Amino acid sequence: MKTRQMNRDWISTASTLSSALPYLQRYTDAIIVIKLGGHAMGSDEAMDSFARDIVLMQQVGVNPVIVHGGGPMINALLDKLEIKSEFVNGKRVTDTATVEVVEMVLSGLVNKRIVQAINRQGGRAVGISGKDANLMICEQTDPSLGFVGTPSKMDVKLLHTLFERDMIPVIAPLGAGADGETFNVNGDTAAGAIAGALKADRLLLLTDVSGVKNADGEVVTELRTEQIREMTRDGVIAGGMIPKTETALDAIERGVRAAVILDGRAPNACLLELFTEHGAGSIIRPD
């Protein structure tokens, strides 16, 4: 009985691999930008699973780029250091003391954790930030927010160099100002700007929800940009989903072929989205 069950499992695995072939071919040499949020990082086990998926993607010819957040980790260290942190319209007010902590956590603790996880699975990840090689030059978003930046100029030559050497970029969302100051950049915003500059095939926004939901609370698996605008005007898309969809729309306007909002906590979410017929979230395409 046990042998028969094992045979069925192997046959199922082989069938899954076979059905994935058209999608594997479809994404050969494609650039996929993945935004990994602080909550989506989860446990060490979840991180290892994510890292295996990224290494597998590269092994089958995809050029993955990881852009990460780290809000919960930043909050924890700010609390430990007794530095007060405020938010205005979802953006962290970032003074001199706060931006030092943000850079320490994002470029250090969080970035290297992801790099190490990918390298443990046999990949060759390189941790950088938007400050490296002038990848992301920023302007101050709003003086009331302090050192919070909006990307104004992108230079992605370094990323193409890493692709040519079979390396996986892991990017902390920090940018440099014209005078050399450090800016904290919203992770989704940074991922969208990088995806747009690369003219990526896909932007995957890993969140803690299953996708964009309609008025009945059901996940809509495929959307066009005008549908997103209509759902936002009607209040169907609201709250924390608005910045996600705005990032998706902006990336598409910059030349990204499609953006996907999906649950980063689900096992193998990226693989399911890219290499199966049904996908794993809400894909947004141009009209």
Q: Domains plus CATH for the chain?
A: 28-285 (3.40.1160.10)
pLDDT digits (tens, 9 = 90+) for 67-115: 999 988 999 999 999 998 888 877 788 899 999 999 999 999 999 999 9
pLDDT digits (tens, 9 = 90+) for 29-72: 999 999 998 556 768 888 999 999 999 999 999 999 999 999 88
Determine which helix (DSSP H) or strand (DSSP E) holds 51, and give its type and residue range.
helix 44-59
Pair 168, 126: CB distance under 8 Å: yes
Summarize the confidence of residues 120-132 as an average pLDDT: 97
Determine which helix (DSSP H) or strand (DSSP E) holds 75, and give its type and residue range.
helix 71-80
Question: Distance (Å, rounded) from C-alpha 106 to C-alpha 82?
Answer: 19
Question: Distance (Å, rounded) from C-alpha 87 to C-alpha 79?
Answer: 15
pLDDT of residue 37: 81
Helices (H) and strands (E) in the chain, counts: 11, 14
